[in-house]
Structure 1
Amino acid sequence: MKQVLAEHENDPNFHHTTIQNIKAFLANEDMMRNPDRYEQAVDRIKLEAALITTNSPYAEVRANVDNHDDPSVPVSTIRAWTLGCLFSVLLSFVNQLFSIRQPYIRFDTNIAQLLSYPLGKCWERWLPSYEMTIPFTKGAKVNLNPGPFNKKEHMLIAIMANTSKSLPYTNFMIWTQVLPQYFNQQYARSTGYIFLNAFATNFIGYGLAGIMRNVLVRPSYCIWPTVFSTIALNAALHPSSESERCVRGPMGTTWSMSRYRFFLYTFSAMFVYFWFPNYLFQALSYFSWMTWIAPDNLKLNILTGMQNGLGLFNPLPTFDWNVITYVIDPLFQMMPSFTTFNAVAGMFLTGLIVPFVWFTNTWNTGFLPIISNHVHDHFGKIYNVSNTLDSRGMFDRDKYAQYSRPYLSATRALSYGWNFAIYTAIMTRVVLYHRPQMVMGFRSFFKNLRFRRKTTTDHEAKEEQYSDVHSRLMSMYSESESRLHLVHPKPSLTDRVVPEWWFFIILAISVVMGILGIVLWPTYTSPAVVLYGILLCLIFIVPIGVTASMTGLEITLNVLAEFIGGVIVEGNALAMNFFKSYGHVTTKAPCPELEADHHRQLPPRVTFMGQMLATLISTIVCTGVFKFQIDIKDVCTPKASMRFFCPGPNTFMTASVLWGTIGPVKVFGKDGYYKWLLMGFPIGCILVTLVWMLQRRWPDSRMLRQVNVVVAIAGSLSWAPYSFSYAWPAVPFAWFSWIYVRGRHLDFWSKYNYVLSASLSAGVAISAIVMLFTVQWAGIAVNWWGNTQPYKGCEGSPCLLYYLAEGEHF
């Protein structure tokens, strides 16, 4: 219990009552001397100890993940590889195509898992049991139909889909290069240039993920909430007879419907319904009903508008599930009071500061839209970066002096301040809250290195290394000496762990590809930026990884990398973007997929090969789709069809101008216009320390235990181009699902909650694809009040506090 308390005392996902019981048990010396007097309390502690030792310490994990394993279940089958490749192509295609849409429509892992289920069952039923010889092998055979479609095959498909849904980060950089309204560097259209940089940034994170497995995957507190719904859905689709029993629901109802039938019904309903907010009745999506009363009223729009206002005081801003789930999906977060509520509260508090900045015209923000992710000049127009560049695309000081310094909207400026704050906040939180976890993780890492050098089996050392039940189950895969085949229908204990040097080889190949992507074209960039980015990641991967593993929120290094890169290569936006890209993607290690493998006990080398293959497929598909996207008419402009407004590339371009072309010294330095935003660095540290002190003062406070400054700051970063109306709708759904239903009908919630989240997202994505390639692609528009009202007045064109006459500047 002392070890449990040391590891989980500051873990907000660990049940608060259990922590209190453990503390009371350890503090009661009389209980230790006379356990018979406290029989009930001792029995309760024994039960907790048994659960933690033989299973996961988290009730949600215990409900969906088995604490036993059958290594003989086939995983690496021709069925799993075929379906995995199919959905890798599908997810990378759809997500790349819609990546420039506002709001973004995405195919999630659960969609692939749900759609692959009937395909796997059809394969099981209709294909013959026929053995084929694998070409170029010594007679190795594979069975076309390896038997029943099982949960391990299905999880391998889900892992490949989850890997392929992540898009190449360098696509943002290439958008800024190829478009004429940006840098207009046409060599960036080259397929080789796009592919090499996409390959490097897609694969480079695997190297660090491999060597950090003992710190970021194997400890029991690293639950990675974002992958938990995938594991739960896998359990739902491959249930035991116990999990499909009838359950009591709200209002005394009894539910016997299977989870898959429930998915089909809710998926069909959302498929039909999404036609209304997305096409037939768009006012349901942008439901700024308060601004319809007076569309040109400045203050009303600023406070309640959804598109060009802050959306702070509109209680019903949308009826569009795609908007509701944009910031956080309220149905599958591990602890909504810990994620959804903290993030939305942080965004709301920042939203209260924004009007004071704008109405006081601080930083001349009154001449600009209150919510915008663009950089502006002193004419109030979009910053024309070409007016500050020479013929090589480098910064020209004379041209800059004749043109204008850059100006940010109120929301964008404050977002940069919070970006500075989050880096000191996350480092401070790791030091104050997670020292025991860090010590145990690194101690396990170094012990693992010594253990792997031994030639004999040391059972005691292994038991010390793998204290979690799932780690003990995975340790079975390290005991074999046989070679792993790519496809074998009846695997036994023949799959060994993935050695660290495999990950280092992937890292080395990625670095080489990244360097080639820089030196073979006129980028005017040193290839050393690849190594600088990796060095930056080495400093932050542990605190960022621990935060993501416990909260489900990823903190990226993009702004810090921009700051450092902009100082090193001042005046060269492209070089800064390369530095930023490699500093950013190396921290986005594929640990969630490794956690899914960890909980479902997949052979590690099979998982590794699945990740590699899916990443390669994604790289190729995304390169092809990107080549198509850059030729779409009016893409990344307000005139673009199908809402291809490019919020991501616009934000990336803003950063390119500020941090690369002009440089952080001119913007945030001693004489910079936004130098006071650097106060974010000490503020992040102070806020975390203050909350930590309050929690130390009142250690039994349930409310204080759920406060997480890092998550709240992360919520504040959602401003520009999105308003609070994109975040607030998640709160009532999170409360209803996680607090009301889960608190009163746990069995009902466990059976249907994750399936509902996946089915609604699948309905949105597939409905949007059908609309895109039918009515929208054909240019068929429905013109009536329900589709025109959301774009009238200040919601259609942003209203300003102050206006400039033609040729006038501030």
Structure 2
Amino acid sequence: MGEIQETTTTTTKTTKTTESSSSEEDNNISSVIKQVELTVPKTDDPNMPVLTFRMWVLGLGTCILLSFVNQFMWYRQNPMSVSSISAQIAVVPLGHLMAKYITKRVFFEGCKYEFTLNPGPFNVKEHVLITIFANSGAGTVYATHILSAVKLFYKRELSLLPAFLIMFTTQVLGFGWAGLFRKYLVEPPQMWWPINMVQVSIFRALHEKEPRQKGGLSRTQTFLIILCCAAAYCVLPSYLFIMTTSFSWLCWFKPKSVLINQLGSGTEGLGIGSFAIDWSTISSYLGSPLASPWFATANVAAGFVLTMYILIPITYWSDFFKAKTFPIYSQKLFKADGSLYNIKGIVTPSFELDKLQYAKDGQLYLSNFFALSYGLGFATLSATVVHVLIFNGREIWEQVKGALEGSKKMDIHMKLMKAYKQVPGWWFHVLLLLNLALTIFTCEYYKESLQLPWWGVLLACSIAFFFTLPVGIIQATTNQQPGLNIITEYIIGYLYPGRPVANMLFKVYGYISMVQALFLTQDFKLGHYMKIPPRSMYMAQVVGALVSVCVYTATAWWMMESIPNICDVSQLPPDSPWTCSYDRTFYSASVIWGLVGPRRIFGDLGYYARVNWFFVAGAIAPCLVWLAQKTFPSQNWIKHIHMPVMLGATMMMPPASAVNFTSWIIVGFISGYVFYRHRQQLWVRYNYILSGGLDAGTAFMTILLFFSLQYVTNIGLDWWGNQPDDVICPLATCPTAKGIVVDGCPVF
């Protein structure tokens, strides 16, 4: 497979770069975001080879490898998601080796189709496209939760072909939304996508020749040292001293006190004082805290404190929603007496709700935290819409007018990208229409097992279309993404109740297609910063998505068939990693919203109707911030209050727990506030390098340990320091209502 160039021939050598600082005009269009100004290079060489043989080999290889590894690790209690940063580092020596030893012979020389397998030194643009392929494998395929829920939790049959079509259509659908909104989420300099700063920093460290200061280290040397140290340290929390993943030291003082266990447990309680010194625990749910802007970290911290240390304690100890009858923190489903609900008993052979049996077994109850987490999800949804209208409405309108009139304000990066052919809009639109047709065909042809009618597909796509832009604006500026999963579940649960598979599918098409669109848009922005030809980016994303879907589906299917009792906690040994925390939460949601339905939970037939008031509270919250800004214009800190981020801070709980948040906030404060404000030179030089090194080192060693000592030989160390958190705080899940009997818990 040869090289296909958009702007030059294969024999062109990379020479001088175009310096953005070469004119006064360029200085006037520098980036409006300080982090971008400090991190992203303002240079480009349009003649640099991009679509090379080694790019295809390494890109497809990393995509396949990361897809397999991430799906394999996804069923763990702490799902270790190996980011593309690992592949970004690993391919560098391979790229240089291929550049050195592959023949430089030009095939079909002098003809129109001449090409070479080796156009010269391994360059940064090839490296970026390889990373785009790796990103396709690094981003999980959310639809695998449907397969897990049906096969492992509901214990129902699902054939491979409809499973693959579900996985395929959910991934590809996002390309349409990405194409529709890229003008508003990629081109404006205000849409800076903070997470991309990590990868940009690593690219520069690995490719820019930097003179080493006397007694100092280059960025490449610094990165490699961090990677090695992170890999060596990872042996401690992953194998030798597992307790470092959650130090719930408060439970040590009174391990037989239910109150102390509830307060101190980092995984099953409020996590007061709990912390982790394990990078995978810190970054597994919220991403790297080093990549989060301080104002976003502060909003997450404020939302976490308001939820975990004010809202939950007040409602729990006042017995709101019969809170004391159930654990203070749980995603399980209960009966009125505190016992677990037998979900399989209320499912008919046709995979619908058995209304008579449900009436006999009684109302389904949630833990206080689980119920209020849905309420906060309602509030986040309405707050997102109102916030974007109030604070970004004028800007969006100006962008729309500018797009229609053909005039845009450009920064230096947009100006440099004008040298390349843009992706025609119809490429996205045709792909969207074809995929939409395939989705409707799949749901109609397999209607008996998938349950979702054609109108449900169109409605789900309408929701994704409506929310992609407002949610994208929030993610592009704060690095946080408010979820749509609740509103999609709510809508289809009312319109089409009693059908759990239809509910799960509707959520995936209405929510995940938006998530995939934003994931692709984020990659487009990375290519924008690194000056990658847009058409090459499009090609890499499409091919990467197709390859990753095949690998994810095959891996998930193989694991569900080959690992005994995977996800079944009642049948697994206590130290088994295959507890499937994400899938268990997804399954519980399918019961609440799909099988039983929101009317029997949050409607007139349910116990939690008052939770709907959170919709109103969420809509009011951004208005209060806006009024505060107008009333106190001199108080600059008010403008950094971001209600969608604050209200949605704990949306990952469950399956995330308190220790994931407390540790993430501490690291985010040290990086985003202390170093950025008081040691900015150190922050600029090392912050994103540190993040990438920790990611890569932890990922490499976690995989090595797992396959060498745990998966293959099952060698473990049995000592006090390897006890899980639920052994240190054994009573954290105990109810405190009078007369409630639960095995292993005291009766009050």
TM-score, length of structure 2 as denominator length: 0.91
Shift of 1:133: 5.8
Partner of 1:637: 568
Partner of 1:616: 546
**Higher alpha-carbon deviation: 322-331 or 341-350:** 322-331
Is 1:418 aligned to residue 370 of structure 2? no
Instruction: Letter of the 1:324 partner, please give it.
Output: I
Is 1:804 aligned to residue 746 of structure 2? no
Shift of 1:52: 7.0
Say whether the 8 Å CA contact 1:196–1:516 is kept in structure 2.
no
Structure 2 CA distance for aligned equivalents of residues 58 and 347 of structure 1 = 27
Instruction: Letter of the 1:276 partner, please give it.
Output: L
Is 1:766 aligned to residue 723 of structure 2? no
Structure 1 CA distance for aligned equivalents of residues 219 and 646 of structure 2 = 34
Structure 2 CA distance for aligned equivalents of residues 93 and 323 of structure 1 = 21
Say whether the 8 Å CA contact 2:231–2:700 is kept in structure 1.
yes
Say whether the 8 Å CA contact 2:489–2:593 is kept in structure 1.
yes
Partner of 2:10: none
Structure 2 CA distance for aligned equivalents of residues 797 and 737 of structure 1 = 32
Structure 2 CA distance for aligned equivalents of residues 779 and 586 of structure 1 = 38
Taking the TM superposition and a 5 Å limit, the aligned residue runs for 1:281-320 are: 281-311=241-271, 313-314=272-273, 317-320=275-278
Choose from 45, 62, 71 the match for 2:46. Answer: 71
**Higher alpha-carbon deviation: 125-134 or 586-595:** 125-134
Choose from 684, 690, 699 the match for 2:624. Answer: 690
Is 1:268 aligned to residue 228 of structure 2? yes
Partner of 2:21: none
Taking the TM superposition and a 5 Å limit, the aligned residue runs for 1:534-613 are: 534-588=461-515, 589=517, 590-613=520-543
Cα 1:112/1:715, change in 2 over 3 Å: same
Is 1:239 aligned to residue 208 of structure 2? yes
| SS of the residue 1:668 aligns to | coil
Is 1:726 aligned to residue 701 of structure 2? no
Partner of 1:399: 357
Is 1:127 aligned to residue 102 of structure 2? yes
Taking the TM superposition and a 5 Å limit, the aligned residue runs for 1:185-264 are: 185-186=156-157, 188=158, 190-241=159-210, 244=211, 246=213, 256-264=216-224
Say whether the 8 Å CA contact 1:330–1:731 is kept in structure 2.
no
| SS of the residue 1:716 aligns to | coil
Say whether the 8 Å CA contact 2:99–2:120 is kept in structure 1.
yes
Superposed CA deviations along residues 141-161 of structure 1, whole A, max 9, x for unmatched, are 332221111111111111221
Structure 1 CA distance for aligned equivalents of residues 107 and 81 of structure 2 = 37
Superposed CA deviations along residues 489-520 of structure 1, whole A, max 9, x for unmatched, are xxxxxxx2111111112212322332343234
**Higher alpha-carbon deviation: 537-546 or 607-616:** 537-546
Structure 2 CA distance for aligned equivalents of residues 128 and 745 of structure 1 = 48
Structure 2 CA distance for aligned equivalents of residues 789 and 655 of structure 1 = 26
Superposed CA deviations along residues 586-644 of structure 1, whole A, max 9, x for unmatched, are 21211101111111121111110000111011001101110122131221133266422
Partner of 2:297: 340
Shift of 1:467: 2.4
Cα 1:422/1:133, change in 2 over 3 Å: farther
Say whether the 8 Å CA contact 1:79–1:120 is kept in structure 2.
yes
Instruction: Letter of the 2:134 partner, please give it.
Output: A
Partner of 2:16: none
Taking the TM superposition and a 5 Å limit, the aligned residue runs for 1:31-110 are: 53-110=28-85
Shift of 1:789: 6.7
Shift of 1:536: 1.0
Partner of 1:678: 612
Structure 1 CA distance for aligned equivalents of residues 728 and 125 of structure 2 = 54
Instruction: Letter of the 2:91 partner, please give it.
Output: S
Say whether the 8 Å CA contact 1:466–1:472 is kept in structure 2.
no
Say whether the 8 Å CA contact 1:176–1:649 is kept in structure 2.
yes
Superposed CA deviations along residues 54-102 of structure 1, whole A, max 9, x for unmatched, are 3211222122223332211111111112111111112111111111212
| SS of the residue 1:715 aligns to | coil
Partner of 2:684: 750
Structure 2 CA distance for aligned equivalents of residues 255 and 108 of structure 1 = 32
TM-score, length of structure 1 as denominator length: 0.84
Is 1:468 aligned to residue 411 of structure 2? yes
Partner of 2:12: none
| SS of the residue 1:609 aligns to | helix
Instruction: Letter of the 1:597 partner, please give it.
Output: G
| SS of the residue 1:393 aligns to | coil
Partner of 1:498: 423
Shift of 1:670: 2.6
Is 1:280 aligned to residue 240 of structure 2? yes
Partner of 2:151: 178
Say whether the 8 Å CA contact 2:482–2:645 is kept in structure 1.
no
Is 1:446 aligned to residue 404 of structure 2? yes
Say whether the 8 Å CA contact 1:298–1:799 is kept in structure 2.
yes
Structure 2 CA distance for aligned equivalents of residues 52 and 220 of structure 1 = 15
Superposed CA deviations along residues 35-57 of structure 1, whole A, max 9, x for unmatched, are xxxxxxxxxxxxxx967733211
Shift of 1:466: 5.1
Partner of 1:716: 650
Instruction: Letter of the 1:271 partner, please give it.
Output: A
Choose from 112, 133, 140 the match for 1:167. Answer: 140
How many residues of Structure 1 are paired with residues of Structure 2 in the alignment? Answer: 712
Instruction: Letter of the 1:787 partner, please give it.
Output: N
Taking the TM superposition and a 5 Å limit, the aligned residue runs for 1:633-672 are: 633-638=564-569, 639=572, 642-672=576-606
Structure 2 CA distance for aligned equivalents of residues 345 and 274 of structure 1 = 30
Superposed CA deviations along residues 426-479 of structure 1, whole A, max 9, x for unmatched, are 1111111112211122223333xxxxxxxxxxxxx5xx23523222222222xx
Cα 1:713/1:52, change in 2 over 3 Å: farther
Partner of 1:152: 125
Shift of 1:654: 1.3
Say whether the 8 Å CA contact 1:292–1:789 is kept in structure 2.
no
Structure 2 CA distance for aligned equivalents of residues 723 and 344 of structure 1 = 14
Shift of 1:537: 1.5
Runs of 4+ in 1 over 4 A off after TM superposition: 49-52
Instruction: Letter of the 2:299 partner, please give it.
Output: N
Partner of 2:709: 775
Shift of 1:277: 1.2
Shift of 1:329: 4.4
Say whether the 8 Å CA contact 2:675–2:683 is kept in structure 1.
yes
Partner of 1:350: 307
Structure 1 CA distance for aligned equivalents of residues 442 and 337 of structure 2 = 37
Cα 1:402/1:446, change in 2 over 3 Å: same
Structure 2 CA distance for aligned equivalents of residues 550 and 206 of structure 1 = 21
Structure 1 CA distance for aligned equivalents of residues 725 and 149 of structure 2 = 30
Structure 1 CA distance for aligned equivalents of residues 278 and 483 of structure 2 = 28
**Higher alpha-carbon deviation: 551-560 or 633-642:** 633-642
Structure 2 CA distance for aligned equivalents of residues 74 and 707 of structure 1 = 45
Is 1:513 aligned to residue 448 of structure 2? no
Aligned CA RMSD, in angstroms, stands at 2.5
Structure 2 CA distance for aligned equivalents of residues 212 and 584 of structure 1 = 16
Say whether the 8 Å CA contact 2:384–2:644 is kept in structure 1.
yes
| SS of the residue 2:115 aligns to | strand
Shift of 1:308: 1.6
Structure 1 CA distance for aligned equivalents of residues 343 and 104 of structure 2 = 63
Structure 2 CA distance for aligned equivalents of residues 66 and 263 of structure 1 = 19
Structure 1 CA distance for aligned equivalents of residues 215 and 297 of structure 2 = 28
| SS of the residue 1:692 aligns to | helix
Structure 2 CA distance for aligned equivalents of residues 741 and 162 of structure 1 = 29
Structure 2 unaligned spans of 5+: 1-23
Q: Quote the sequence identity (%).
A: 29
Cα 1:293/1:141, change in 2 over 3 Å: farther
